[in-house]
Amino acid sequence: MMEEKKLICHKCQKELELKKTNFSYLGHIFFTEVPRCPECGLVFISEDLVKGRISEVEMQMEDK
């Protein structure tokens, strides 16, 4: 599982930390926690998140 692995920022060589991050979609903003580099701010969006919660948000928000 992704959660069990350490994620290291390739550029800064720092371990990513879970941080609240904002997403925008069709004029709405949502936040959730995702791994982020404490140095450069790069976030890692996992496939699980994209195929799970994010695609669910997309489905709920999309017009018919």
Partner 1 sequence: MLLSLVNKDVIDDKHIELSYKSGCMVCGAELIYNKTEINKTCYYCGETRPSNSYCVNNHFVCDKCHEANPIENIKRICISCSETDAAVLMQTIRSHKAFPIHGPEHHSLVPAVILTSLRNSGYAITEEQILVAIRRGQTISGGACAYLGACGAAIGAGIAFSILLDANPYDGKMRQIAQQATASVLSDIASYCAPRCCQRDAWIALKAVSKLLKKDMDLILPVGEIVCQQYRFNKECIHEECPLWVTSMDNYIILYKTWSVCPICMKRLPAERVHRGEQVYLQKTCKEHGSFESIIWRGYSSFNEWVNNSDQPALESPNCPDGCGLCSDHLQKTCCVILNITNKCNLNCHFCFADCDNSNDEPTFEEIQESLSKLIVKGKTLVQLSGGEPTMRNDLPEIIKAAKDLGAKYVQLNSNGIRLSEDKEYVRKLAEAGLSFVFMQFDGTDDAIYKSLRGKPLLKVKQKAIENCAEHNIGVTLVPTLVRGVNTHNIGDILRFAISEAPKVRGVHFQPATFLGRVPEKPTNDERFTLDELIFEIQKQTNGIIKSENLLPSACDHPLCGFHGDFIVDQNKVISLLKRDKTEKSCCCSPVAADKNREFVARRWQRPPVTNTSMDSSSGNLDDMEFFLNRVKTHGFTVTSMAFQDAGNIDFSRLRNCSLHVYDKGKFVPFCSYYLSGWKQ
Compute the chain's Rg from CA coordinates.
Answer: 13
Specify the 3-state DSSP secondary structure of 48: helix
12 binds partner 1 (CB under 8 A): no
Taking the C-alpha atoms of residue 14 and residue 35, their distance in angstroms, rounded to an integer, is: 11
CA angle at 24 for the pair 21 and 1, rounded to the nearest 5°: 45
36 binds partner 1 (CB under 8 A): yes
CB of 48 to partner 1, least distance (A): 13
60 binds partner 1 (CB under 8 A): yes
How many residues contact partner 1, by CB under 8 A? Answer: 30
Residues that bind partner 1 (CB under 8 A): 19-32, 36, 40-43, 45, 53-54, 56-58, 60-64
